[in-house]
A and B are shown apart, each in its own frame.
Chain A
C-alpha cells in the first residue's frame, strides 16, 4: 500500500464560518444579499492536518475550540466555507447517538433504518443484528417504539450500532460517558477491541484527559478554531494543561 493511500482524513486550510445575524429577519434578507450586517464566527480557522490509517487521535480543547465543528465537517453533516477536506473510508460516528433514529419505529426497525442509511444491504444488517441487539441490552424493548425508550436506552442502542458496523474510521464525541458504570465499561472494552485492529482510525473528543491518554497516541490541541499543538498525546496534554 502506497503512503498516499494511508491518509484517511486530510484537512487542507479548512475554514468554517458561521454568520451571526441580529434577527431571523436579517438572516432571511442575508440569503439574498451580502450587504446585510452580520458578524462572522470562525469556528474553524485555516486548519490543516492529516490523519493516517491506524492513527488514534484526540482533539483537545475547551468549549468553543472547534472540536465538534471539525467532527461535523468530517462526517459530512456540514460543509466547510473554504479549503479542502478529504475523507477515505466508512465512518461510524458517535456524535449524536440518536442520529438517524425515528421515534415512531421500534428499536429493531431503527437498526434497519439507520444501517440502511449507512449503506448496508438487508442481508448484511441481518448478520449484524444479533450482535447489535445483544450489545444494546434493552431486553423486550427492542420491539417497542423508540419514543418509549429512556434516554439511556436510546444512547445504548445508538452506541451498539456504531461500534458493531465494522467502520474504518470511528469518531467518538463524549459518547463514552453514556449509561451506567457497567455499560461504560462495556463500551470502553469494545472500543479497545475495535482499536486492536491495525486498520481502524480513531478520532476522539473528550474533556476527560485520562480517557484521551488511554486510547490515543496523538493529540491535537485547539483553541478558538486554531490548531496550537499537534504531537504525542502526553506532550499535547501537558501543553493543554500549561495553558490553563
Chain B
C-alpha cells in the first residue's frame, strides 16, 4: 500500500516531465539516423512482409480470414505486437539504461517505465493510423467496432507499464533477469496469439493457458476490432484471465519497488 502511495507521489513530483521525457526518448531513438522516422515504419513492414511471404508463398497456408486477405489479418494482430515487443525488452532494460539519471541525481525511479512505455505508445499511434488507412484503402471503412481500440490500447499500456516497473527494477539488480527476458522473447511470441487464433486450438487446457498471456488477449483484441467484429465483453473468460495476470504482475511490481528501490542506486 505504501509503495502505491510512493509511486503516485513520484509521478506527481515529475508531473508533465513524464511527457517531455517520453518525447525526448523518441527524438533520441530516431534522430541519430539519416532516415529518422522512416525506421519506425521499416522494421514493422519488413517483419510483416517476411511472415506473409513465409506463410503465403512458402508454406502455402495463409488463406483469407472472414473475407479479409491474410496480410490484413497479419497486420491487425502484429500492430500491438510491435509495442509489446518493444516493452518486453525495453521495459526490462529501462532502469539500467537510465543509469546516468538514477546513480547521479535524485530521480523518481518508478516513472522510468512510464515514460519509456509512453514513448513506445506514440510509435504505436503512428502505426495504428497507418493500419486504419490501409484497411480503408482495401475497402474496409472504420465501423462501430473501432470504438474499442482505446479499450485494448489502455489495457495493453497498463499491463506493459506495470511489467516495465517489475522487470526494469529486477534487471537493474540482476543482469541475469534481462538476459532471461531477451532469450525468451521469441518463445513468448510463438506462445501467444499473434500468429494464430487461440480460439481454434483444440486442446482445452492449452487454450485457457494461452489466455492468461496478455499478449494473446491484446493481439486477438485488435483482431476482433479489425477482422472478427466482436465486442470485448463477448469473451468474459479472456478478460478474467487478463485481470488475474495483471494483478499478479502488479503485486510483483510493488514487491520489487518496495524491496529494490533503495538498493538500485548502490548496485547499478
Contacts and interface: CB of A to CB of B under 8 A. Distances in A.
A113 interface: yes
A78 interface: yes
Interface residues of B, number: 25
A51 to B, nearest CB: 18
B100 A102 contact: yes
Given A78-B265, A79-B262, A28 B107 contact: no
Contacts of B103: 77
Contacts of B263: 31
Interface stretch (B24-32, B134-142, B238-246): B24-32
A126 to B, nearest CB: 15
A151 to B, nearest CB: 15
Interface string A76-94: 1111000000000000010
A28 B174 contact: yes
B20 A116 contact: yes
A95 interface: yes
A75 B100 contact: no
Contact of A104 (B28, B106, B259): B28
A96 B104 contact: yes
B17 interface: yes
Given A27-B267, A104-B32, A113 B24 contact: yes
Which among A78, A93, A98 has the highest number of chain B CB atoms within 10 Å?
A: A78
Interface in A53-85: 72, 75-79
A105 interface: yes
Given A24-B174, A31-B259, A95-B104, A116 B17 contact: yes
B105 A28 contact: no
Which among A72, A77, A100, A105 has the highest number of chain B CB atoms within 10 Å?
A: A77
Contacts of A102: 24, 28, 100
B105 A77 contact: yes
A1 interface: no
B259 A100 contact: no
Interface string B139-171: 000000000000000000000000000000000
B209 interface: no
Contacts of A93: 105
Contacts of B174: 24, 27-28, 31
Nearest to A79: B262
Nearest to A69: B266
Interface residues of A, number: 25
B260 interface: yes
Contacts of A101: 100
B101 interface: yes
A76 B104 contact: no
A105 B24 CA distance: 9
A79 B32 CA distance: 36
Given A75-B106, A95-B104, A99-B104, A28 B265 contact: no
Nearest to A28: B174
Contacts of A24: 174-176
A141 interface: no
Given A24-B174, A28-B173, A99 B105 contact: yes
Interface in A165-199: none
B100 A100 contact: yes
Interface in A13-60: 18, 24, 27-28, 31
A24 B69 CA distance: 51
Contacts of A31: 173-174, 259-260, 263
Nearest to B29: A104
A242 interface: no
Contacts of B176: 24, 28
A109 B20 CA distance: 12
Nearest to A32: B259
A123 to B, nearest CB: 14
8 contacts: A24-B176, A31-B173, A31-B260, A77-B103, A78-B266, A79-B265, A98-B100, A105-B27
7 tightest Cβ-Cβ pairs between the two chains A and B:
A99-B104, A76-B106, A79-B262, A104-B28, A78-B265, A96-B104, A99-B105
